[in-house]
Structure 1
Amino acid sequence: MSILVISPHMDDETLGAGGTILKYTDAGEKVYWLNISNTKEEYGYSEELCRKREKRYYEVIRRLHITDAVDFKLQPAHLEKYDTGEIINKIGNIVDRIKPEIIITTSPGDVHSDHKTVFSWAKAFSKSFRNPWLKKFLLMEIVSETDFALPMGSFIPNYFVDISDFLEDKIEALKIYEGEMGEHPFPRSVKNIKALAVNRGTIAGTKYAEAFMLLRCIEK
């Protein structure tokens, strides 16, 4: 089985689906990661910061045992300026190559505009007549984004993955993102991430879980 995780920014993939990725890779499944935006000097970021983020990118790939990854390195917080058709074609080339049975991406209700834009691109690949291999299309829950959604964009989880054996490894992967994590009550804190995993696990009847919104499930 192949799984494609599409994240707007580095850390979204681990925050939203790190435990699930680890569960799949531990079972021998192939997990691919497409990251959409990142820092570049031409966007005004320092050379040092760009080097650090590049290093973290490969560290996360190793930590989560990602099969393969692609980073489009589009400009963060400016995704709406890119040509929709062009980006969908680029994503389509990846989808055609790996033929994912599961696609995981961000929710359109998330506060960050990049998350909304990435969903608008990714949803094009939820059509079964274009992607006959697709079985599930999932939206992930990302602390500091999904939990600040307005009522009309509320995240209503209806699909849960038991990550009881993988939460600690997920947290270790998140620690790679130095500067993105903080202390409680900051949303991206170890305490909050564990609390959310406990809450979702309680709903699912497990010790820890990650929650998703299942938009499409095709059983053949």
Structure 2
Amino acid sequence: MPDSILVLAAHPDDEVLGCGGTIARHVAAGDQVHVAILAQGLYSRGEPTAEQVSGLHAAAERANGLLGVSSLSLFDYPDNSMDTVARLAVTQTIEQLVTEHRPRTVYSHWIGDVNIDHRRIHEAVVAACRPQPGHPVESLLFFEVASSTEWQPPGSAPAFQPNWFVDIAATLDTKLAALAAYQAELRDWPHPRSLRGVEHLARWRGSTIGCEAAEAFVLGRHLRPGV
């Protein structure tokens, strides 16, 4: 029976950087993948024009179309300023998405990222996915985002130490094609948020577990349901 999967990302491209290959695997397996991008993604660079906003939304639609997601929700929380938003508001937004999609698995950001939006969303996800009776979420998985997770100095926040890996050898090309849709967000090699940098990370994560390419996660919680 197909699963319902919910991916909660801060900015357009985070969903692809963090778990694009895994999303494509879920889709290939027949699962329904729902992606929600919570922050606007442009305000930290100055007041965006309508053309810039529509261009970024179009890029998100193209990227997630390539991944084959069932739905894409774009919100307008302030970019790189989610610490100015009441956590309850973000938590309630996520709770509404959980109620709508009834996901068994949720993917989102790691708490130790440099980016403040990533950290606030992580906290809201944990709050919204409290393991209460009847709650649909059985697995919480937190991904890494190149140019945020690895840039946190040791001791400044919890280190990303993955204990859950997904083999994406068959979907790495799809991940990279989806990432290429976010051309304005990419940087030149050797920046970690370049196509080459993202591929190197996937190859490295794969080599650590004996496969061609992988995405790495920290398992927050997994419930093995009763029979």
Measured against the shorter chain, the TM-score band is over 0.9
**What does residue 14 of structure 1 align with?**
16
TM-score, with structure 1 as normaliser: 0.94
**What does residue 183 of structure 2 align with?**
178
Q: Does 1:214 align with 2:216?
A: no
Stretches of structure 1 that go unaligned for 5 or more consecutive residues are none
**What does residue 64 of structure 2 align with?**
61
The C-alpha deviation readout for 1:100-141, integer Å capped at 9, x for no partner, is: 111110011000111111111111133221653222101101
Is 125-134 or 172-181 further displaced after alignment?
A: 125-134
Deviation of 1:174 (Å): 0.5
Deviation of 1:74 (Å): 1.1
Distance in 1, matches of 2:123 and 2:25, equals 27
1:6-85 maps to which residues of 2 (within 5 A)? 6-38=8-40, 44-85=47-88
Please give the secondary structure, in 1, of the residue aligned with 2:142.
strand
Q: Does 1:154 align with 2:159?
A: yes
1:137-148 maps to which residues of 2 (within 5 A)? 137-148=140-151
Distance in 2, matches of 1:190 and 1:57, equals 17
CA contact (8 A) 2:7 2:106 kept: yes
Deviation of 1:204 (Å): 1.9
CA contact (8 A) 1:149 1:155 kept: no
The C-alpha deviation readout for 1:61-111, integer Å capped at 9, x for no partner, is: 211111112111111011112122222112111101111111110011000
Please give the secondary structure, in 1, of the residue aligned with 2:123.
helix
The letter for the 2-side match of 1:209 is A
Deviation of 1:39 (Å): 5.1
Deviation of 1:170 (Å): 0.5
Distance in 2, matches of 1:125 and 1:84, equals 10
Distance in 2, matches of 1:69 and 1:164, equals 25
The C-alpha deviation readout for 1:6-27, integer Å capped at 9, x for no partner, is: 0010000000100000000011
CA contact (8 A) 2:4 2:32 kept: yes
The letter for the 2-side match of 1:206 is C
Q: Which aligned segments of 4 or more residues in structure 1 are displaced greater than 4 angstroms?
A: none
Please give the secondary structure, in 1, of the residue aligned with 2:107.
strand
Aligned match for 1:166, one of 171, 177, 190: 171
The C-alpha deviation readout for 1:139-180, integer Å capped at 9, x for no partner, is: 101110111122232100000000000101110110111121
Distance in 2, matches of 1:9 and 1:92, equals 19
Distance in 2, matches of 1:150 and 1:32, equals 32
Is 205-214 or 54-63 further displaced after alignment?
A: 54-63
The letter for the 2-side match of 1:26 is A
What's the RMSD between the two structures over aligned residues?
A: 1.6
C-alpha change, 1:204 and 1:39, in structure 2 (3 Å) is closer
Distance in 2, matches of 1:141 and 1:19, equals 13
**Identity value in percent:** 28
